[in-house]
């Protein structure tokens, strides 16, 4: 299931155009393979901040046994990695050093793992109602997906790097091997597979937690240069409202005409209807018929530790960090 698509950015240089094309190619293969799979959740272009650090993950996969992070790299020529893990690539007849994308995605994974572990009590329930579940014993894998026309010199690179380096056209096959998904029946009877797994409710909870903490580019920039009101422009496909909450959705009032909210899909900021579902308050856009959570980052301090409350027909955003209140509708 695709929770968030890759949003195209205005790019001008050949390098950024090629990089964006590679991310689109990876997203295409992931969509073809997993768009209808309820237990494989895909977030493309995920940005988040934690403990004063900001990270951007090209592609994040959540599945019953854990997580897979994918770094996309547009490499058209030869790519080589020596025994010290140092990367070089060719361009024409010349060779150039490049940062290791494996090291890059390892740092992203570490920060993501820290954030999930700190918030585990909010995301996961307790085993048998006694022991708090966590993320430490889950499967954590990361890959680098390079252009399908790259030439990879696997004979000279470390075996561990070769295992993590895959051409885009073979990515899904590699992911299926890593995830090694089994039916629920076989998970019960197969005693040799000791991997702890998330149930569907836990997968949904993890997905909602991450989607709620995604920062679009303007929000990510505000972590460095604060702004008064973050503009939410990126069309995040809200997992909670599109796939789960629709079972329990109930209209709350007539369409509103003025608020600080906007549809994340089409940008509509006036013509929508407040709604309530399994994962809380959201708006249903009357322009594109898609849904957007009301919960957003605090306009003052940019904290994501916020909540929505309702009093009659008024919806208010409350920030737990700076204790400010904002009327959203």
Q: Which pLDDT value is given to residue 30?
A: 96
pLDDT of residue 127 exceeding 80, the answer is no
- d(C-alpha 50, C-alpha 81), whole Å: 31
Q: Which pLDDT value is given to residue 12?
A: 65
Q: Which pLDDT value is given to residue 208?
A: 93
Check residues 47 and 289 and name the one with the higher pLDDT: 47
**Residue 145 banded pLDDT, cuts 50, 70, 90:** very high
Ramachandran quadrant class, 195 (left: phi over 0; alpha: psi -120 to 50; beta: rest): beta
Q: How far is CA 152 from CA 87, 128, 174, 179, in A?
A: 11, 48, 16, 24
What is the DSSP secondary structure assignment for residue 14, as one 8-state letter? H
User: What contacts 26, CB < 8 A, 6 or more positions away?
Assistant: 58, 59, 70, 72, 145, 168, 171
pLDDT of residue 311 exceeding 60, the answer is yes
> Average pLDDT for residues 283-310, to the nearest whole number?
84
pLDDT tens per residue, range 237-248: 444 434 433 333
For the sheet containing 165-167, what is the strand order?
A: 2-4, 41-50, 53-63, 66-73, 139-146, 165-167
- d(C-alpha 128, C-alpha 171), whole Å: 37
| Residue 70 · residue 6 · CB < 8 Å | no
Residue-averaged pLDDT of the chain = 81
| Residue 30 · residue 172 · CB < 8 Å | yes
Check residues 121 and 6 and name the one with the higher pLDDT: 121
pLDDT tens per residue, range 210-231: 999 998 765 555 554 333 333 3
Residue 162: strand, helix, or coil: helix
- d(C-alpha 200, C-alpha 23), whole Å: 28
pLDDT of residue 118 exceeding 80, the answer is yes
Q: Which pLDDT value is given to residue 314?
A: 84
Q: How far is CA 36 from CA 23, 31, 113, 307, in A?
A: 20, 9, 26, 31
**Residue 129 banded pLDDT, cuts 50, 70, 90:** low
Token pair of 263 as six digits: 């549809």
> Average pLDDT for residues 299-313, to the nearest whole number?
80
Q: Which ranges of 145-223 would DSSP assign to H, the alpha helix?
A: 159-164, 171-179, 184-189, 200-212, 217-222
- Please report which helix (H) or strand (E) contains residue 112, including its range: helix 101-118
Q: Which pLDDT value is given to residue 204?
A: 93
pTM of the model: 0.65
- d(C-alpha 76, C-alpha 73), whole Å: 9
- Among 103, 49, 114, CA closest to 305: 49
pLDDT of residue 157 exceeding 70, the answer is yes
Residue 146: strand, helix, or coil: strand
Q: Which pLDDT value is given to residue 252?
A: 42
> Average pLDDT for residues 264-283, to the nearest whole number?
81
| Residue 137 · residue 120 · CB < 8 Å | no
């Amino acid at each position: 299931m695709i929770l968030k698509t890759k949003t195209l950015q205005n790019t001008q240089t050949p390098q950024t155009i090629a990089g964006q094309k590679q991310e689109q190619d990876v997203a295409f293969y992931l969509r073809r393979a997993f768009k209808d799979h309820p237990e494989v959740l895909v977030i493309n272009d995920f940005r988040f901040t934690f403990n004063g650090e900001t990270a951007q993950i090209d592609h994040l996969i959540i599945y019953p046994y854990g997580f897979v992070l994918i770094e996309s790299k547009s490499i058209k020529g030869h790519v080589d990695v020596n025994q010290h893990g140092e990367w070089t690539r060719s361009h024409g007849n010349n060779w150039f050093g490049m940062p290791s994308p494996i090291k890059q995605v390892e740092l992203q994974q570490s920060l993501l793992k820290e954030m999930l572990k700190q918030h585990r009590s909010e995301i996961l329930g307790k085993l048998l109602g006694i022991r708090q579940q966590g993320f430490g014993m889950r499967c954590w894998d990361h890959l680098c997906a390079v252009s399908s026309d790259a030439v990879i010199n696997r004979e000279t690179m470390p075996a561990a790097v070769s295992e993590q380096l895959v051409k885009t056209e073979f990515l899904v096959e590699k992911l299926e091997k890593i995830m090694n998904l089994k039916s629920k029946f076989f998970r019960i009877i197969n005693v040799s597979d000791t991997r702890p797994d998330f149930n569907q409710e836990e997968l949904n909870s993890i997905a909602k937690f991450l989607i709620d903490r995604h920062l679009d580019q303007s929000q990510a920039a505000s972590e460095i240069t604060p702004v008064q009101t973050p503009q939410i422009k990126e069309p995040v496909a809200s997992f909670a409202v599109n796939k789960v909450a629709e079972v329990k959705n109930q209209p709350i009032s007539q369409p509103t005409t003025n608020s600080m909210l906007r549809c994340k899909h089409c940008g509509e900021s006036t013509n929508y209807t407040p709604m309530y579902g399994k994962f809380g308050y959201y708006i249903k856009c009357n322009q594109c018929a898609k849904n957007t959570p009301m919960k957003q980052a605090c306009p003052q301090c940019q904290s994501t530790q916020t909540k929505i409350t309702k009093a009659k027909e008024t919806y208010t955003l409350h920030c737990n960090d700076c204790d400010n209140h904002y009327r959203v509708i």
